[in-house]
């Protein structure tokens, strides 16, 4: 479980290897409801408080030089929540995009989405998603991908459906062909997977892309998450030894 350093470093990059920054970091933004409940507030107040955490995490990603940041905003299973919470989240996500896409654009962030664009997602939200994509499409500093109405299993189902619909020959199906049919074929595999709120599970996030991710968990609830937590997660990542099923060169005979 991740711990923040006792004294915060002067710069976010202090103590980090600038050549060992993970290219793709994925965050499960979890614990909003508990954050609110602990304060005697309604759960949706926790979602609202998570907005600041997201903006700070993006700033952290930019400061650290993380090229891809993917955040889990709403899962295919989150429709099972009470109707008023779901309705709040639809409205809230639309407002977040309306409030912040210009700032993200100024910061050089390219905004993208992964997930099912089905009839359950309100048209007004889809419209703001499209406007955010369009506004920021040529930015190159960092890609912020928001997983909305996203499920890792649904993504694989959709990829298989697309391949069958195209009449792809089974003999032509390989890792690259499947990757090509994911929601964003350009998205690299996840290097660092971070989940807040103490839960140690994947919850159907990026199943394909986490094949060799380093997993880091923190007790911090998402509304309390700040760029320092992201930097601490990167520090933990840099202490790991990634092998990808092989051997480290120095260990090889």
Q: Which is nearer to ligand IPE, 78 or 238 (CB)?
A: 78
Site for ligand IPE in 104-133 (CB under 6 A): none
Q: Which is nearer to ligand IPE, 102 or 201 (CB)?
A: 201
Q: Which of 161, 128, 145, 153 is nearest to 76 (CA)?
A: 153
Closest residue to Mg ion: CB criterion: 30
Tokens of 25: 């970091």
Q: Which of 12, 25, 26, 28 binds ligand IPE (CB under 6 A)?
A: 28
| 1 vs 248: CA distance, rounded Å | 25
**Tokens 């977040």 found at:** 96
Tokens of 72: 């889990």
Bridge partners for 147 per DSSP? 72, 114
Candidates 24-32, 83-91, 183-191, 207-215; binding stretch for Mg ion (CB under 5 A) = 24-32
**Which listed option, Mg ion, ligand IPE, none, makes contact with residue 209 (CB within 5 to 8 Å by class)?**
none
Catalytic residues: 30, 78
Site for ligand IPE in 142-201 (CB under 6 A): 197, 199, 201
Q: Which of 33, 115, 151, 152 binds ligand IPE (CB under 6 A)?
A: 33
Tokens of 165: 């619909």
Smallest distance, ligand IPE to C-beta of residue 203, A: 4
**Taking a C-beta distance cutoff of 8 angstroms, is the pair 204, 153 a contact?**
yes
Smallest distance, ligand IPE to C-beta of residue 161, A: 23
Q: Report how far apart, in Å, the C-alpha atoms of 195 and of each of 31, 208, 230 are.
A: 10, 17, 11
Smallest distance, ligand IPE to C-beta of residue 72, A: 4
Bridge partners for 216 per DSSP? 194
Tokens of 243: 């092998």
> 246: Cβ–Cβ under 8 A, 6 or more apart, which residues?
none
| 55 vs 96: CA distance, rounded Å | 10
Q: Which is nearer to ligand IPE, 143 or 149 (CB)?
A: 149
Q: Which of 25, 28, 30, 125 binds Mg ion (CB under 5 A)?
A: 30
Binding mask 70-109 for ligand IPE (x = CB under 6 A): --xxxx--x----------x--------------------
């Amino acid at each position: 479980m991740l711990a923040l350093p006792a004294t915060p470093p002067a710069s976010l990059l202090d103590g980090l290897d600038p050549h060992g920054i993970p290219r793709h970091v994925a965050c499960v933004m979890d614990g909003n409801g508990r954050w609110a409940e602990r304060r005697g507030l309604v759960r949706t107040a926790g979602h609202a408080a998570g907005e600041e955490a997201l903006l700070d995490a993006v700033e952290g990603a930019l400061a650290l030089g993380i090229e891809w940041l993917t955040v889990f905003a709403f899962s295919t299973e989150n429709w099972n929540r009470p109707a008023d919470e779901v309705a709040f989240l639809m409205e809230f996500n639309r407002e977040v995009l309306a409030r912040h896409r210009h700032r993200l654009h100024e910061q050089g962030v390219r905004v993208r989405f992964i997930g099912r664009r089905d009839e359950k997602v309100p048209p007004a939200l889809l419209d703001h998603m499209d406007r955010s994509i369009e506004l920021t499409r040529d930015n190159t500093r960092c890609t912020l991908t928001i997983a909305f109405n996203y499920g890792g299993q649904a993504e694989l189902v959709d990829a298989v459906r697309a391949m069958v619909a195209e009449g792809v020959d089974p003999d032509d199906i390989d890792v690259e062909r499947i990757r090509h049919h994911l929601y964003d074929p350009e998205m690299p595999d996840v290097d660092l997977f971070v989940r807040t709120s103490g839960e140690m599970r994947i919850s159907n996030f990026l199943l394909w892309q986490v094949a060799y991710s380093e997993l880091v968990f923190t007790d911090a609830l998402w509304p309390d998450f700040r760029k320092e937590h992201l930097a601490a997660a990167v520090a933990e990542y840099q202490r790991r030894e990634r092998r990808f099923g092989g051997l480290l060169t120095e260990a090889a005979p």
